[in-house]
Protein backbone atom coordinates (compact mmCIF):
# COMPACT_ATOMS: atom_id res chain seq x y z
CA UNK A 1 0.00 0.00 0.00
CA UNK A 2 2.71 2.48 1.00
CA UNK A 3 4.77 1.47 -2.00
CA UNK A 4 1.73 2.04 -4.20
CA UNK A 5 1.13 5.50 -2.76
CA UNK A 6 4.80 6.38 -3.08
CA UNK A 7 4.90 5.27 -6.70
CA UNK A 8 1.73 7.15 -7.52
CA UNK A 9 2.96 10.32 -5.85
CA UNK A 10 6.23 10.27 -7.75
CA UNK A 11 4.30 9.71 -10.98
CA UNK A 12 1.98 12.56 -10.04
CA UNK A 13 4.96 14.84 -9.53
CA UNK A 14 6.25 13.85 -12.94
CA UNK A 15 2.89 14.65 -14.53
CA UNK A 16 2.81 17.95 -12.69
CA UNK A 17 6.26 18.80 -14.00
CA UNK A 18 5.20 17.93 -17.54
CA UNK A 19 1.96 19.84 -17.47
CA UNK A 20 3.42 22.95 -15.87
CA UNK A 21 6.19 22.87 -18.47
CA UNK A 22 3.75 22.56 -21.35
CA UNK A 23 1.48 25.25 -19.90
CA UNK A 24 4.43 27.57 -19.44
CA UNK A 25 5.48 27.13 -23.05
CA UNK A 26 1.94 27.49 -24.40
CA UNK A 27 1.41 30.63 -22.37
CA UNK A 28 4.80 32.09 -23.23
CA UNK A 29 4.12 31.68 -26.93
CA UNK A 30 0.54 32.91 -26.75
CA UNK A 31 1.39 36.58 -26.68
CA UNK A 32 3.74 39.38 -25.86
CA UNK A 33 3.70 40.51 -22.23
CA UNK A 34 5.18 43.86 -23.24
CA UNK A 35 2.54 44.59 -25.89
CA UNK A 36 0.76 47.05 -23.61
CA UNK A 37 3.95 48.98 -22.87
CA UNK A 38 5.10 49.00 -26.48
CA UNK A 39 1.91 50.71 -27.60
CA UNK A 40 1.99 53.32 -24.85
CA UNK A 41 3.10 56.89 -25.52
CA UNK A 42 5.15 57.09 -22.34
CA UNK A 43 8.37 59.05 -23.04
CA UNK A 44 10.57 56.65 -21.10
CA UNK A 45 9.02 53.61 -22.76
CA UNK A 46 12.41 52.16 -23.54
CA UNK A 47 13.43 52.27 -19.91
CA UNK A 48 10.27 50.48 -18.80
CA UNK A 49 10.70 47.84 -21.46
CA UNK A 50 14.30 47.27 -20.45
CA UNK A 51 13.33 47.15 -16.78
CA UNK A 52 10.51 44.66 -17.40
CA UNK A 53 12.68 42.53 -19.64
CA UNK A 54 15.18 42.34 -16.83
CA UNK A 55 12.75 41.56 -14.00
CA UNK A 56 10.71 39.09 -16.05
CA UNK A 57 13.86 37.62 -17.57
CA UNK A 58 12.35 37.89 -21.01
CA UNK A 59 15.79 37.67 -22.59
CA UNK A 60 15.91 34.01 -21.59
CA UNK A 61 14.02 31.83 -24.08
CA UNK A 62 10.86 30.24 -22.56
CA UNK A 63 12.06 26.60 -22.57
CA UNK A 64 14.91 27.65 -20.28
CA UNK A 65 13.00 30.37 -18.46
CA UNK A 66 10.64 27.74 -17.11
CA UNK A 67 13.44 26.33 -15.00
CA UNK A 68 14.22 29.73 -13.52
CA UNK A 69 10.55 29.98 -12.59
CA UNK A 70 10.51 26.43 -11.21
CA UNK A 71 13.60 27.05 -9.12
CA UNK A 72 11.97 30.08 -7.51
CA UNK A 73 8.57 28.45 -7.14
CA UNK A 74 10.04 25.47 -5.33
CA UNK A 75 12.11 27.79 -3.17
CA UNK A 76 15.33 25.95 -3.94
CA UNK A 77 17.51 29.00 -3.41
CA UNK A 78 15.78 30.84 -0.61
CA UNK A 79 13.88 28.09 1.14
CA UNK A 80 10.50 29.77 0.70
CA UNK A 81 8.39 29.25 -2.42
CA UNK A 82 8.18 32.41 -4.49
CA UNK A 83 5.74 32.64 -7.38
CA UNK A 84 6.96 36.09 -8.38
CA UNK A 85 4.97 39.27 -8.81
CA UNK A 86 2.16 40.11 -11.17
CA UNK A 87 3.34 42.03 -14.21
CA UNK A 88 1.00 45.01 -14.08
CA UNK A 89 0.96 46.12 -10.46
CA UNK A 90 3.80 44.09 -8.98
CA UNK A 91 1.69 42.41 -6.33
CA UNK A 92 3.08 39.11 -5.06
CA UNK A 93 1.20 36.33 -6.84
CA UNK A 94 0.88 34.44 -3.56
CA UNK A 95 -1.13 37.31 -2.05
CA UNK A 96 -3.43 37.48 -5.06
CA UNK A 97 -4.09 33.77 -4.85
CA UNK A 98 -4.67 33.69 -1.11
CA UNK A 99 -7.16 36.52 -1.53
CA UNK A 100 -8.93 34.69 -4.34
CA UNK A 101 -9.17 31.28 -2.69
CA UNK A 102 -11.78 32.14 -0.01
CA UNK A 103 -13.93 33.87 -2.62
CA UNK A 104 -13.78 30.89 -4.92
CA UNK A 105 -14.55 28.47 -2.11
CA UNK A 106 -17.53 30.56 -1.05
CA UNK A 107 -18.78 30.57 -4.63
CA UNK A 108 -18.32 26.90 -5.36
CA UNK A 109 -18.77 25.14 -2.03
CA UNK A 110 -22.49 25.80 -1.58
CA UNK A 111 -23.33 25.09 -5.19
CA UNK A 112 -21.29 21.88 -5.19
CA UNK A 113 -22.93 20.64 -1.99
CA UNK A 114 -26.39 21.58 -3.26
CA UNK A 115 -25.75 19.91 -6.59
CA UNK A 116 -24.50 16.74 -4.90
CA UNK A 117 -27.38 16.49 -2.42
CA UNK A 118 -30.14 17.39 -4.86
CA UNK A 119 -28.60 15.46 -7.75
CA UNK A 120 -28.21 12.26 -5.76
CA UNK A 121 -31.66 12.55 -4.16
CA UNK A 122 -33.44 13.04 -7.45
CA UNK A 123 -31.19 10.60 -9.26
CA UNK A 124 -32.11 7.87 -6.78
CA UNK A 125 -35.80 8.74 -7.02
CA UNK A 126 -35.56 8.71 -10.79
CA UNK A 127 -33.92 5.28 -10.77
CA UNK A 128 -36.37 3.75 -8.29
CA UNK A 129 -39.28 5.00 -10.37
CA UNK A 130 -37.69 4.15 -13.68
CA UNK A 131 -39.86 4.95 -16.73
CA UNK A 132 -42.36 6.82 -14.59
CA UNK A 133 -43.50 10.34 -15.30
CA UNK A 134 -41.02 11.57 -12.69
CA UNK A 135 -38.20 9.75 -14.44
CA UNK A 136 -39.11 11.22 -17.82
CA UNK A 137 -39.47 14.73 -16.38
CA UNK A 138 -36.10 14.52 -14.65
CA UNK A 139 -34.43 13.04 -17.71
CA UNK A 140 -35.75 15.83 -19.87
CA UNK A 141 -34.74 18.39 -17.26
CA UNK A 142 -31.22 17.02 -17.02
CA UNK A 143 -30.77 17.03 -20.79
CA UNK A 144 -32.05 20.58 -20.91
CA UNK A 145 -29.61 21.62 -18.19
CA UNK A 146 -26.79 19.81 -20.01
CA UNK A 147 -27.56 21.93 -23.07
CA UNK A 148 -27.51 25.35 -21.44
CA UNK A 149 -24.55 27.70 -21.88
CA UNK A 150 -23.95 29.01 -18.37
CA UNK A 151 -23.61 32.66 -19.29
CA UNK A 152 -26.88 32.49 -21.17
CA UNK A 153 -28.53 31.19 -17.99
CA UNK A 154 -26.72 33.93 -16.09
CA UNK A 155 -28.25 36.67 -18.22
CA UNK A 156 -31.72 35.21 -17.69
CA UNK A 157 -31.15 34.86 -13.94
CA UNK A 158 -29.92 38.44 -13.70
CA UNK A 159 -33.02 39.67 -15.47
CA UNK A 160 -35.69 37.56 -13.80
CA UNK A 161 -34.25 36.66 -10.41
CA UNK A 162 -32.55 39.96 -9.68
CA UNK A 163 -33.75 42.94 -11.67
CA UNK A 164 -37.42 42.03 -11.95
CA UNK A 165 -37.54 40.64 -8.42
CA UNK A 166 -36.09 43.85 -7.08
CA UNK A 167 -38.67 45.81 -9.06
CA UNK A 168 -41.34 43.55 -7.64
CA UNK A 169 -40.15 44.23 -4.09
CA UNK A 170 -40.92 47.92 -4.52
CA UNK A 171 -44.61 46.92 -4.85
CA UNK A 172 -44.74 43.44 -3.35
CA UNK A 173 -48.34 42.56 -4.08
CA UNK A 174 -49.22 39.69 -6.38
CA UNK A 175 -52.14 40.24 -8.74
CA UNK A 176 -54.61 37.50 -9.52
CA UNK A 177 -53.39 36.76 -13.05
CA UNK A 178 -49.74 36.23 -12.08
CA UNK A 179 -50.80 34.22 -9.04
CA UNK A 180 -52.80 31.91 -11.33
CA UNK A 181 -49.81 31.53 -13.63
CA UNK A 182 -47.43 30.77 -10.72
CA UNK A 183 -49.85 28.29 -9.17
CA UNK A 184 -50.41 26.50 -12.48
CA UNK A 185 -46.68 26.27 -13.19
CA UNK A 186 -45.77 24.99 -9.74
CA UNK A 187 -48.70 22.58 -9.73
CA UNK A 188 -47.59 21.17 -13.10
CA UNK A 189 -44.09 20.69 -11.71
CA UNK A 190 -45.34 19.01 -8.53
CA UNK A 191 -47.69 16.81 -10.54
CA UNK A 192 -44.72 15.76 -12.62
CA UNK A 193 -43.38 14.05 -9.50
CA UNK A 194 -46.33 11.76 -8.82
CA UNK A 195 -47.29 8.76 -10.79
CA UNK A 196 -50.34 6.57 -10.69
CA UNK A 197 -53.86 6.64 -11.96
CA UNK A 198 -55.35 9.64 -13.71
CA UNK A 199 -57.51 10.28 -10.66
CA UNK A 200 -54.50 10.50 -8.38
CA UNK A 201 -52.70 12.83 -10.78
CA UNK A 202 -55.72 15.11 -11.02
CA UNK A 203 -56.15 15.18 -7.23
CA UNK A 204 -52.46 16.03 -6.79
CA UNK A 205 -52.76 18.78 -9.36
CA UNK A 206 -55.87 20.22 -7.69
CA UNK A 207 -54.44 20.09 -4.18
CA UNK A 208 -51.06 21.54 -5.10
CA UNK A 209 -52.65 24.21 -7.28
CA UNK A 210 -54.93 25.43 -4.51
CA UNK A 211 -52.20 25.23 -1.85
CA UNK A 212 -49.74 27.21 -3.93
CA UNK A 213 -52.45 29.67 -4.89
CA UNK A 214 -53.42 30.25 -1.25
CA UNK A 215 -49.80 30.57 -0.10
CA UNK A 216 -48.97 33.14 -2.73
CA UNK A 217 -52.27 34.95 -2.18
CA UNK A 218 -51.44 35.27 1.51
CA UNK A 219 -47.84 36.23 0.75
CA UNK A 220 -48.99 38.93 -1.65
CA UNK A 221 -51.64 40.27 0.69
CA UNK A 222 -49.26 40.51 3.65
CA UNK A 223 -46.38 41.78 1.47
CA UNK A 224 -44.44 38.78 2.74
CA UNK A 225 -41.61 39.11 0.22
CA UNK A 226 -40.89 42.60 1.48
CA UNK A 227 -41.30 41.77 5.19
CA UNK A 228 -40.59 38.04 5.30
CA UNK A 229 -40.58 35.99 8.47
CA UNK A 230 -41.28 32.44 9.54
CA UNK A 231 -41.87 32.92 13.25
CA UNK A 232 -41.80 30.16 15.81
CA UNK A 233 -45.05 28.79 14.43
CA UNK A 234 -43.73 28.54 10.87
CA UNK A 235 -40.48 26.97 12.03
CA UNK A 236 -42.28 24.33 14.08
CA UNK A 237 -44.66 23.54 11.24
CA UNK A 238 -41.89 23.26 8.64
CA UNK A 239 -39.68 21.32 11.05
CA UNK A 240 -42.46 18.88 11.89
CA UNK A 241 -43.17 18.23 8.24
CA UNK A 242 -39.44 17.61 7.71
CA UNK A 243 -39.45 15.14 10.63
CA UNK A 244 -42.46 13.31 9.18
CA UNK A 245 -40.87 13.34 5.74
CA UNK A 246 -37.55 11.93 6.93
CA UNK A 247 -39.31 9.29 9.03
CA UNK A 248 -41.27 8.27 5.95
CA UNK A 249 -38.12 8.03 3.86
CA UNK A 250 -35.79 6.34 6.34
CA UNK A 251 -37.98 4.06 8.45
CA UNK A 252 -41.57 4.37 7.38
CA UNK A 253 -44.24 6.10 9.42
CA UNK A 254 -45.03 2.86 11.21
CA UNK A 255 -41.84 3.33 13.21
CA UNK A 256 -43.20 5.43 16.06
CA UNK A 257 -39.78 5.65 17.73
CA UNK A 258 -38.23 7.42 14.75
CA UNK A 259 -41.20 9.74 14.38
CA UNK A 260 -41.07 10.52 18.10
CA UNK A 261 -37.31 11.20 17.99
CA UNK A 262 -37.68 13.48 14.96
CA UNK A 263 -40.55 15.42 16.49
CA UNK A 264 -38.68 15.71 19.82
CA UNK A 265 -35.74 17.25 18.00
CA UNK A 266 -38.10 19.70 16.34
CA UNK A 267 -39.65 20.57 19.69
CA UNK A 268 -36.16 21.06 21.07
CA UNK A 269 -35.40 23.42 18.20
CA UNK A 270 -38.60 25.33 18.78
CA UNK A 271 -37.84 25.54 22.50
CA UNK A 272 -34.49 27.24 21.87
CA UNK A 273 -36.02 29.68 19.36
CA UNK A 274 -36.26 32.60 21.80
CA UNK A 275 -32.99 31.89 23.66
CA UNK A 276 -31.30 31.72 20.26
CA UNK A 277 -32.83 35.03 19.21
CA UNK A 278 -31.51 36.66 22.37
CA UNK A 279 -28.07 35.08 22.12
CA UNK A 280 -27.46 35.66 18.43
CA UNK A 281 -27.68 39.41 18.33
CA UNK A 282 -25.99 41.74 15.82
CA UNK A 283 -22.62 41.22 17.52
CA UNK A 284 -22.55 37.43 17.22
CA UNK A 285 -19.75 35.64 15.40
CA UNK A 286 -19.03 32.43 13.54
CA UNK A 287 -17.49 30.44 16.44
CA UNK A 288 -20.58 31.07 18.57
CA UNK A 289 -22.87 30.01 15.72
CA UNK A 290 -20.78 26.92 15.08
CA UNK A 291 -20.84 26.00 18.77
CA UNK A 292 -24.62 26.32 18.84
CA UNK A 293 -24.95 24.20 15.70
CA UNK A 294 -22.74 21.49 17.23
CA UNK A 295 -24.72 21.61 20.48
CA UNK A 296 -27.99 21.27 18.59
CA UNK A 297 -26.78 18.37 16.46
CA UNK A 298 -25.19 16.49 19.37
CA UNK A 299 -28.28 16.83 21.54
CA UNK A 300 -30.42 15.55 18.67
CA UNK A 301 -27.98 12.65 18.36
CA UNK A 302 -28.66 11.74 21.98
CA UNK A 303 -32.39 12.19 21.47
CA UNK A 304 -32.19 9.58 18.73
CA UNK A 305 -29.84 7.42 20.76
CA UNK A 306 -32.04 7.22 23.84
CA UNK A 307 -35.36 6.97 22.01
CA UNK A 308 -34.93 3.42 20.94
CA UNK A 309 -33.04 0.33 21.94
CA UNK A 310 -32.95 -1.49 18.65
CA UNK A 311 -31.76 -0.29 15.25
CA UNK A 312 -30.58 3.08 16.46
CA UNK A 313 -29.01 4.16 13.15
CA UNK A 314 -32.06 5.28 11.17
CA UNK A 315 -33.68 6.82 14.26
CA UNK A 316 -30.59 8.91 14.97
CA UNK A 317 -30.45 9.89 11.30
CA UNK A 318 -34.06 11.10 11.36
CA UNK A 319 -33.57 13.02 14.57
CA UNK A 320 -30.33 14.68 13.45
CA UNK A 321 -31.67 15.62 10.03
CA UNK A 322 -34.79 17.12 11.63
CA UNK A 323 -32.61 19.09 14.03
CA UNK A 324 -30.43 20.27 11.15
CA UNK A 325 -33.40 21.56 9.22
CA UNK A 326 -34.98 23.22 12.25
CA UNK A 327 -31.65 24.97 12.82
CA UNK A 328 -31.58 26.00 9.16
CA UNK A 329 -35.10 27.43 9.40
CA UNK A 330 -34.19 29.28 12.61
CA UNK A 331 -31.19 30.91 10.93
CA UNK A 332 -33.31 31.66 7.88
CA UNK A 333 -35.88 33.32 10.11
CA UNK A 334 -33.16 35.40 11.70
CA UNK A 335 -31.94 36.47 8.25
CA UNK A 336 -35.51 37.30 7.27
CA UNK A 337 -35.81 39.59 10.26
CA UNK A 338 -32.75 41.43 8.93
CA UNK A 339 -34.22 41.68 5.45
CA UNK A 340 -35.91 45.02 6.01
CA UNK A 341 -32.73 46.67 7.33
CA UNK A 342 -30.76 45.26 4.44
CA UNK A 343 -33.41 46.38 1.96
CA UNK A 344 -32.99 49.95 3.13
CA UNK A 345 -29.18 49.70 3.16
CA UNK A 346 -29.09 48.39 -0.40
CA UNK A 347 -31.33 51.23 -1.66
CA UNK A 348 -34.15 48.86 -2.52
CA UNK A 349 -32.05 46.59 -4.79
CA UNK A 350 -31.30 43.67 -2.44
CA UNK A 351 -30.54 40.94 -5.00
CA UNK A 352 -27.20 41.79 -6.57
CA UNK A 353 -26.13 40.89 -10.09
CA UNK A 354 -22.43 41.66 -9.79
CA UNK A 355 -19.60 41.23 -7.31
CA UNK A 356 -19.11 39.03 -4.28
CA UNK A 357 -20.06 41.57 -1.61
CA UNK A 358 -21.24 45.15 -1.27
CA UNK A 359 -18.21 47.38 -0.74
CA UNK A 360 -20.29 50.36 0.35
CA UNK A 361 -22.35 48.43 2.87
CA UNK A 362 -22.32 50.39 6.13
CA UNK A 363 -23.00 47.88 8.79
CA UNK A 364 -21.15 45.70 11.23
CA UNK A 365 -24.22 43.66 12.07
CA UNK A 366 -23.34 39.97 11.72
CA UNK A 367 -26.67 39.20 10.12
CA UNK A 368 -26.65 42.12 7.70
CA UNK A 369 -23.14 41.25 6.54
CA UNK A 370 -24.09 37.60 6.01
CA UNK A 371 -27.32 38.50 4.27
CA UNK A 372 -25.25 40.69 1.98
CA UNK A 373 -22.98 37.77 1.16
CA UNK A 374 -26.01 35.57 0.53
CA UNK A 375 -27.77 38.01 -1.78
CA UNK A 376 -24.60 38.21 -3.85
CA UNK A 377 -24.24 34.45 -3.84
CA UNK A 378 -27.76 33.60 -4.88
CA UNK A 379 -27.44 34.12 -8.64
CA UNK A 380 -24.07 32.45 -9.32
CA UNK A 381 -24.93 29.62 -6.94
CA UNK A 382 -28.21 29.00 -8.73
CA UNK A 383 -26.49 29.01 -12.11
CA UNK A 384 -23.70 26.66 -11.02
CA UNK A 385 -26.07 24.34 -9.17
CA UNK A 386 -28.29 24.03 -12.23
CA UNK A 387 -25.33 23.07 -14.40
CA UNK A 388 -23.75 20.57 -12.00
CA UNK A 389 -27.05 19.13 -10.79
CA UNK A 390 -27.69 17.44 -14.12
CA UNK A 391 -24.41 15.54 -13.96
CA UNK A 392 -25.03 14.12 -10.50
CA UNK A 393 -28.60 13.29 -11.43
CA UNK A 394 -27.54 11.23 -14.45
CA UNK A 395 -24.72 9.40 -12.68
CA UNK A 396 -26.58 8.52 -9.53
CA UNK A 397 -29.51 7.34 -11.63
CA UNK A 398 -27.30 5.14 -13.79
CA UNK A 399 -25.43 3.86 -10.77
CA UNK A 400 -28.57 2.95 -8.81
CA UNK A 401 -30.11 1.27 -11.85
CA UNK A 402 -26.97 -0.79 -12.29
CA UNK A 403 -26.99 -1.86 -8.65
CA UNK A 404 -30.71 -2.65 -8.68
CA UNK A 405 -30.17 -5.27 -11.35
CA UNK A 406 -27.66 -7.14 -9.17
CA UNK A 407 -28.30 -10.57 -7.76
CA UNK A 408 -27.87 -9.53 -4.14
CA UNK A 409 -30.77 -7.11 -4.53
CA UNK A 410 -32.91 -9.99 -5.74
CA UNK A 411 -31.73 -12.02 -2.77
CA UNK A 412 -32.61 -9.24 -0.35
CA UNK A 413 -36.07 -8.95 -1.86
CA UNK A 414 -36.52 -12.69 -1.89
CA UNK A 415 -35.80 -13.04 1.79
CA UNK A 416 -38.70 -10.68 2.42
CA UNK A 417 -36.88 -7.50 3.21
CA UNK A 418 -39.09 -4.42 2.89
CA UNK A 419 -38.38 -2.47 -0.28
CA UNK A 420 -37.30 0.58 1.72
CA UNK A 421 -34.62 -1.44 3.49
CA UNK A 422 -33.50 -3.02 0.21
CA UNK A 423 -33.01 0.39 -1.32
CA UNK A 424 -31.47 2.10 1.69
CA UNK A 425 -29.25 -0.66 3.02
CA UNK A 426 -28.25 -2.62 -0.03
CA UNK A 427 -28.76 -0.56 -3.16
CA UNK A 428 -27.86 2.96 -2.07
CA UNK A 429 -24.67 2.18 -0.24
CA UNK A 430 -23.23 0.30 -3.18
CA UNK A 431 -24.52 2.75 -5.71
CA UNK A 432 -22.82 5.63 -3.95
CA UNK A 433 -19.34 4.06 -4.18
CA UNK A 434 -18.67 5.09 -7.78
CA UNK A 435 -19.97 8.57 -7.04
CA UNK A 436 -17.16 9.17 -4.54
CA UNK A 437 -14.82 9.44 -7.51
CA UNK A 438 -16.89 12.22 -9.01
CA UNK A 439 -17.18 13.97 -5.68
CA UNK A 440 -13.42 13.78 -5.12
CA UNK A 441 -12.81 15.38 -8.49
CA UNK A 442 -15.40 18.06 -7.93
CA UNK A 443 -14.04 18.98 -4.54
CA UNK A 444 -10.53 19.19 -5.97
CA UNK A 445 -11.93 21.31 -8.77
CA UNK A 446 -13.32 23.78 -6.22
CA UNK A 447 -10.10 25.75 -6.11
CA UNK A 448 -9.78 25.87 -9.86
CA UNK A 449 -12.67 28.27 -9.79
CA UNK A 450 -15.31 28.68 -12.41
CA UNK A 451 -13.86 30.91 -15.09
CA UNK A 452 -17.04 31.71 -17.00
CA UNK A 453 -19.28 32.12 -13.95
CA UNK A 454 -16.78 34.35 -12.22
CA UNK A 455 -16.50 36.45 -15.35
CA UNK A 456 -20.26 36.84 -15.76
CA UNK A 457 -20.93 37.73 -12.15
CA UNK A 458 -17.79 39.78 -11.58
CA UNK A 459 -16.26 37.65 -8.82
CA UNK A 460 -12.52 37.87 -8.27
CA UNK A 461 -11.81 34.24 -7.60
CA UNK A 462 -9.27 31.82 -8.98
CA UNK A 463 -11.07 31.53 -12.30
CA UNK A 464 -10.96 35.24 -12.98
CA UNK A 465 -7.32 35.36 -11.91
CA UNK A 466 -6.47 32.73 -14.50
CA UNK A 467 -8.54 34.56 -17.09
CA UNK A 468 -6.83 37.84 -16.30
CA UNK A 469 -3.43 36.19 -16.43
CA UNK A 470 -4.09 34.87 -19.92
CA UNK A 471 -5.49 38.18 -21.16
CA UNK A 472 -2.58 40.22 -19.79
CA UNK A 473 0.07 37.64 -20.67
CA UNK A 474 1.04 37.44 -17.01
CA UNK A 475 3.08 34.27 -16.78
CA UNK A 476 3.72 34.44 -13.05
CA UNK A 477 0.07 34.82 -12.19
CA UNK A 478 -0.98 32.15 -14.66
CA UNK A 479 1.55 29.65 -13.42
CA UNK A 480 0.63 30.40 -9.81
CA UNK A 481 -3.07 29.67 -10.32
CA UNK A 482 -2.44 26.81 -12.67
CA UNK A 483 0.05 25.00 -10.42
CA UNK A 484 -2.47 24.89 -7.59
CA UNK A 485 -5.28 23.66 -9.82
CA UNK A 486 -3.14 21.03 -11.49
CA UNK A 487 -1.71 19.86 -8.19
CA UNK A 488 -5.18 19.37 -6.75
CA UNK A 489 -6.42 17.62 -9.88
CA UNK A 490 -3.57 15.14 -9.76
CA UNK A 491 -4.03 14.57 -6.04
CA UNK A 492 -7.76 14.04 -6.56
CA UNK A 493 -7.04 11.21 -8.99
CA UNK A 494 -4.90 9.55 -6.35
CA UNK A 495 -7.39 10.20 -3.55
CA UNK A 496 -10.22 8.85 -5.70
CA UNK A 497 -8.28 5.64 -6.34
CA UNK A 498 -7.51 5.15 -2.66
CA UNK A 499 -11.05 5.95 -1.43
CA UNK A 500 -12.46 3.67 -4.06
CA UNK A 501 -10.34 0.72 -3.12
CA UNK A 502 -11.23 1.22 0.54
CA UNK A 503 -14.97 1.36 -0.12
CA UNK A 504 -15.17 -1.38 -2.69
CA UNK A 505 -13.42 -4.56 -1.52
CA UNK A 506 -13.53 -6.00 -5.02
CA UNK A 507 -11.00 -3.42 -6.17
CA UNK A 508 -7.57 -4.29 -4.86
CA UNK A 509 -4.48 -2.26 -5.39
CA UNK A 510 -1.90 -4.32 -7.23
CA UNK A 511 1.22 -4.91 -5.23
Q: Which of residues 155-184 bind other proteins (CB under 8 A)?
A: 155, 159
Using the minimum distance from each CB to other proteins, give the nearer residue, 13 or 68: 13
Q: Which of 171, 183, 191 is nearest to 216 (CA)?
A: 183
**Integer Cα distance of 366 and 286 in angstroms:** 9
Q: How far apart are CA 456 and CA 151, in angstroms?
A: 6
Selection from 341, 348, 330 nearest residue 363 by Cα = 341
Q: Does 445 bind other proteins (CB under 8 A)?
A: yes
DSSP string, 106-168: HHHHHHHHHHHHHHHHHHHHHHHTTTSHHHHHHHHHHHHHHT--HHHHHHHHIIIIIIHHHHH
Query: Is residue 69 part of the contact set for other proteins (CB under 8 A)?
Result: no
Residue number with CB closer to other proteins (365 or 442): 442
Q: Is 455 in the site for other proteins (CB under 8 A)?
A: yes
- Stretch touching other proteins by CB under 8 A, among 118-126, 136-144, 208-216, 347-355: 136-144
Q: Which C-beta is closer to other proteins: that of 158 or that of 226?
A: 158
> Looking at 147-155, 227-235, 245-253, 283-291, which segment touches other proteins (CB under 8 A)?
147-155
Question: Mapping DSSP to helix (H, G, I), strand (E, B) and coil, where does residue 85 land?
Answer: strand
Binding mask 470-499 for other proteins (x = CB under 8 A): xx------x---x--xx--xx--x--x---
Q: Which of 9, 13, 31, 173 binds other proteins (CB under 8 A)?
A: 31
118 in Cβ contact with 389 (< 8 Å): yes
Q: How far is CA 119 from CA 136, 193, 197, 385, 427, in A?
A: 15, 15, 27, 9, 17
> What number of CA atoms fall less than 13 Å from residue 23's CA on the CB side?
24
Contact criterion met (CB below 8 Å) for 148 and 386: yes
Burial 93-115 (b: 16+ CB within 10 A, else e): beebbeebbebbbbbbebbbebb
Contact stretch for other proteins (CB under 8 A) within 48-56, 140-148, 214-222, 265-273: 140-148
Instruction: Kindly state the smallest distance separating residue 202's Cβ from other proteins, in Å.
Output: 25
124 counts as binding other proteins under rule CB under 8 A? no
User: Within positions 405 to 444, which residues make up the interface with other proteins, using CB under 8 A?
Assistant: 405, 433-434, 437-438, 441-442
Does 311 help bind other proteins (rule: CB under 8 A)?
A: no
Single out the segment in contact with other proteins by CB under 8 A; choices: 17-25, 182-190, 263-271, 351-359: 17-25
Angstrom distance (rounded) from CA 187 to CA 318: 28
Q: Measure the CA–CA gap between 390 and 393, rounded to whole angstroms.
A: 5
255 sits near other proteins (criterion: CB under 8 A): no
Give the interface with other proteins as residue ranges (CB under 8 A): 11, 14-16, 18-19, 22-23, 26-27, 29-31, 139-140, 143-144, 146-152, 155, 159, 384, 387-388, 390-391, 394-395, 398-399, 401-403, 405, 433-434, 437-438, 441-442, 445, 450-453, 455, 463, 466-467, 470-471, 478, 482, 485-486, 489-490, 493, 496, 500, 504, 507
Amino acid sequence: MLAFIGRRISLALLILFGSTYLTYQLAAYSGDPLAGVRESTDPNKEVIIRELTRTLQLDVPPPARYFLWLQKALGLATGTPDFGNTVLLRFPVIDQISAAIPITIRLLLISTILAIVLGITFGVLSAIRQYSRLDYSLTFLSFLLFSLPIFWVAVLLKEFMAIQFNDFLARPTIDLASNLVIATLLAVIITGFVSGTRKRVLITFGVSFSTVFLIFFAAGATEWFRYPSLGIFGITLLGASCAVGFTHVFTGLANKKALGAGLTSVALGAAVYYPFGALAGPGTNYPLMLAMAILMLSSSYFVGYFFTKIDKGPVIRVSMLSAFFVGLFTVLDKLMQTWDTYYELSNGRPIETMGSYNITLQSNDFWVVNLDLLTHLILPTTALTLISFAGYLRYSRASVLEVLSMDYIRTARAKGMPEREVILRHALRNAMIPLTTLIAFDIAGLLGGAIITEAVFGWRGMGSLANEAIVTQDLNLLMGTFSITAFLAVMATLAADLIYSTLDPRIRIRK
